Each structure stands twice: as C-alpha cells, then as structure tokens.
Amino acid sequence: MKEKLNAIRQAALKQIENAKDLDALNDIRVSVLGKKGELTQVLKSMKDVAAEERPVIGQMVNDTRSAIEALLEKERTILTRKLREEKMKKEVIDVTLPGKKKMTGHRHPNQIALEDLERVFIGMGYEVVEGPEVEYDKYNFELLNIPANHPAKDEQDTFYITKDILLRTQTSPVQARIMETGRMPIRIISPGRVFRSDEVDATHSPSFHQVEGLVVDKGITFADLKGTINQWAKEFFGPDTRTKFRPHHFPFTEPSAEVDVTCFKCGGKGCRMCKGSGWIEILGCGMVHPKVLKDCGIDPEVYSGFAFGIGLERVALLKYEIDDMRLLYENDKRFLDQF
C-alpha cells in the first residue's frame, strides 16, 4: 500500500508540473482526488489494511493529498497569472488614440420634409389619413372622374395586378374613400407612396411620394383654397414666399390650377434654379368636381370642396436645393449625413 501511495504521489506531482493549462490541471485533480480518483480508491480499501497499519497508511494518504493539493494550487496560480498577462497583452488600450464616435441615426430628408409639411396642415386643423398602396381601379380612377379609356390614364401609366386592381398612381383614392363615408366636414391630408411606370432620371422615379389634401364643407370657395396654399407656402418655404395660380386641367377638379411659388434661391429675380423666370411650379389643385362629389355620395348642391396634390420629393428637392432625385434613394451616407 505504501508503494502504491508513493507511486500515485510521484505520478500526480509530475503530471501537475507538466500541465500546460487550467483544463489539464482540473483533469489531474479529478483523476487523483475525485470521487473515482486513485487516492479515493485507496481510502475505500483501508478496510483491508491491518488495524495496526491503518494510522500510518491514513497519515500517508493525508500527506499525499496535501502535497498534491498544494502543488495544484501553486500551478493554478501560476497558470492563471500567465493567462491574465497574455490576455492583457492582447487587450492593450492605447490611450493616445482618438475615441470611437457613437453613430446616431437621423431622419431621412424625405421624412423631414413630410413632418414639416404635416406640422403646417395639422396646425390648420387637418387630419392625417393613410390608405392602401394596392388599390381598386374604382377608387384610383373611376370615382375621380377618370373613366375607362380616358386620356389621363395614359398619362398615369401604372402597374396593374389584375384588370381591377393596381398599385395606386396617387393618394387621391384615400380622398374618395373618406368622401364615401359621408362624414362631414372633411379636412384631411393623405401622404403615401405612389407608383407610375416612369423611367428613372434626375426628376422621375417609378415609386415616389405624394401628399394630397381635401376639404369638403358647406360654402367652400376657391378663395379658401388660395388662402390655404398661401399659408402653407409661407410656413414651409419662408415668410416672404409668394404664390401664383395658373389655369390648368385635372379631371377631378373644376376649375383647376397649377401653383408656382417665388424662387427661394433668388427671391423671384431669376436664377439657374428657376430657369430665369423667378417662379417654381410646386403643385396642382382645384375645386372638387361636382361629379366626383356626386359619385362619392355627396350632394354638390349642398357641399363644395377643394383638393391639392404635393409631390413630396419635389418639395424636398426644392427646399434643400438637391438637384437629383436619385440621391434620395441611393443610401449614400456622404449625402444623407448632411441632414
């Protein structure tokens, strides 16, 4: 038994001294001192040792355990310190290096323009209403006085899903849906994404955004429309902004007009941005056509209203003096970080 204990002790001490890492030390501890370890097995066999030799053997077992545990602790300390030193070498911090800047996200220029625009109209008592991007032909065209084979359909060449379902070409269908409910008065703006089969260039995209407005109530006149547009233009582009209404034609309004604002680059004197005219076309508008009111279940003899449509990208390009619409969608941080 004594020879066996000496052999266990010498073998364990040698293995501990040759251990390369903490995992190896733990394996040695388990194999020698664990529940099924060699030293534990010796203790279990003490019943077979002669009574007079048990004290001596028991003392040898304790001395062996103490020697192994002491060397295990010593080597564990050495290996732990070595491991910490290696880790610190790898994680050296150069305090002379500049700090890492925390990158914080911000709103897209389109979103900034939209929120500015919404803030103006909400301040005038308008409600923001949204609708589906996949729309019925009935709401996108028919209820807006654009029947089948109407020339305006060619101008708004769009993406059809079925004969009667398409990707909306404007947010006007939201207006038709609101008028259908019959709840009066109506004072809404409807922002959202629209789709038209356009070629991509500096001023066109097959997918862009519109903000359309609608007011329907008793006694609404063109003067109300002019006052609304004038107020929005001054708050959105600046207090010195003036507007000019030019006769135009839209199937869903009568009379209709295109609206120009004084160039905010030159103040109306004429420059490259306004092509020397001093004015910039900004939106289309008009009094809601009586047939549109009637088709949506509103009596045109009692109620009247006006509508307008603003291209969000267009006003964003003008407000922030961006010369290419594609910049808004290319996700170039050099461009977007300017906002």
CA 123 – CA 106 distance, rounded (Å): 24
Strongest mean pLDDT among 11-25, 27-41, 256-270, 276-290:
276-290
> Could you state, in order of their start, the residue ranges of all structural domains in the chain?
2-90, 109-336
Asked if residue 161 lies in contact with residue 265, where contact means CB atoms within 8 angstroms, the answer is no
Beta bridge partners of 256: 248, 286
pTM: predicted TM-score of the whole model, two decimal places: 0.66
Task: Give the CATH H-level superfamily of domain 109-336.
Answer: Bira Bifunctional Protein; Domain 2 (3.30.930.10)
The shares of helix, strand and coil residues in the chain, as percent rounded to the nearest 5, are 45, 20, 35
- 105-155 pLDDT tens trace: 888 899 999 999 999 999 999 999 999 999 998 998 888 888 777 666 665
- Please compute the mean of the pLDDT values over residues 281-310 and round it to a whole number: 93
- 172-224 pLDDT tens trace: 999 999 999 989 999 999 999 999 888 888 778 888 899 999 999 999 999 99
The four Cα atoms 55, 56, 58, 63 give a dihedral, to 10 degrees, of 140
- Sequence-separated (6 or more) residues with CB below 8 Å from residue 106: 336, 339
